[in-house]
Structure 1
Amino acid sequence: AVFETSLGTFRAEIFADRMPLTASNFLDLAQRGFYDGLHVHRVVPKMALVFGCPYSRDAFSPRAGQGFPPPGSRFATWTDGRPVARDGRGAIVDEFPMCPRLSNHAGTLAMCNLGERDSCGSQFFVNVAHNLFLDFFDDSSPAAHPVFGRLLDDGLDLAKKIA
């Protein structure tokens, strides 16, 4: 995946083999152009950059951070072509605890959710620090954000500049 920002471009590896549902959701949206023209709608200094809300097309929208993919939209997993439908708000079901324990290390990409089960949609973040408390397998916090990719090359350096 390639991310173009006003400060430069970074690339990411998407873990379709380890996180087939979450990665396929992201890849489907990217392939359809869903992410084109969206802005980083939230920066948590020294922690994360948040992208992927359809309302962030307008950089000043008060709804930025509240959007989802189209409700009931469908895609196929990249690994086996299994058909998947997003729910009535546009979210997918959680892959954990069946998925690998991929930690929210600096440079990883993880899906945002509403702090409740089965609420990942289109929004994701780039970790610019090791945010262990965001791991679904860390009991110190109720947060559960599945990692589905990682930045390549000097992508983390650029992400840190933005954050």
Structure 2
Amino acid sequence: MLSSRLLIRSFLFSAFISAMLFASVASAEEVISGKPQVEFQTNRGIFVVELYPDKAPASVANFLKYIELGFYDGTIFHRTIKNFVVQGGGLTADMLQKSTYSPIVNESNNGLKNEPGTIAMARAFDPDSATSQFFINLTDNKYLNFYKPDPHYIGYAVFGKVIKGLDVLQAISATPTQVIGLNKNVPIDPVIVEHTRLLDMPVMPESQSSKPTPTEITKPKAKGKKRG
């Protein structure tokens, strides 16, 4: 009888420990997956970005402020270059610049790289001039990374990554473009952000020659002799 009670107590204790361990694991998973996720609904499809406030707190807070206001709804991707970037976040379909909040500090020296699928802040030459515009890297843009605290080498601050719908952005980047004023690579058929929202429930990541405009990033020219 005594041994039976001991076995029952042992079983209950083991069950309690297992429950505590499970709760700890679940809590850890919630922390890991607790990064804000924002869904972009465009007229070409939907994509989702996951943000990294631990690495780029100012950039993420700034971005979420615009999301909360619905600022990006009705804006366009005004610069699309295949195998390079898609850029948006500041112009309407009429190519009018929207009013923004004050610029934020450059957080390019945060360890994050301009790798395929990452989202980064667009800016002018001044390192601390980013406002609402952003771009999404479609290739490994190493030369956009931080190298040293010099305006020429400080780079562009990555603050998140596309975890769903990267194929939508790749398709957008392949759309035919035109030149409108000082803006190069403007899609002929506007790529419009119809709606953005902060997700309540996280989604699982998928396997995954005119003068530039003030917030335009520049792809360096290839070196070497021309062929043909």
Normalised by the size of structure 1, how large is the TM-score? 0.75
Give CA deviations for 1:29-67 in whole Å, capped at 9, x if unaligned: 1111111111111112210110111xx22x242x55xx5
Q: Computing the radius of gyration over CA atoms, which structure comes out larger, 1 or 2?
A: 2
User: Which of 127, 133, 150 pairs up with 2:143?
Assistant: 133
* Separation in 1, partners of 2:73, 2:121: 18
Describe the SS at the equivalent of 1:40: strand
Amino acid at match of 2:114: N
Tell me which residue corresponds to 1:86. none
Q: Are residues 160 and 96 of structure 1, via their aligned partners in 2, closer, same or farther at CA, if it must alter by over 3 Å? A: closer
CA RMSD, 1 decimal: 1.9
Unaligned runs of 5+ in 2: 1-37, 174-228
Tell me which residue corresponds to 1:145. 156
* Separation in 2, partners of 1:143, 1:27: 24
Are 2:128 and 1:118 equivalent residues in the alignment? yes
Which structure shows the higher helix fraction? Answer: 2
- The number of residues matched between the two structures is 134
Dislocated runs of 4+, deviation >3 Å: none
Normalised by the size of structure 2, how large is the TM-score? 0.54
Tell me which residue corresponds to 2:107. 95
Are 2:49 and 1:49 equivalent residues in the alignment? no
* Separation in 2, partners of 1:129, 1:95: 21
* Separation in 1, partners of 2:162, 2:170: 12
Q: Are residues 47 and 143 of structure 1, via their aligned partners in 2, closer, same or farther at CA, if it must alter by over 3 Å? A: farther
Unaligned runs of 5+ in 1: 71-89
Amino acid at match of 1:69: T
User: Which of 84, 100, 114 pairs up with 1:69?
Assistant: 100
Describe the SS at the equivalent of 1:157: helix
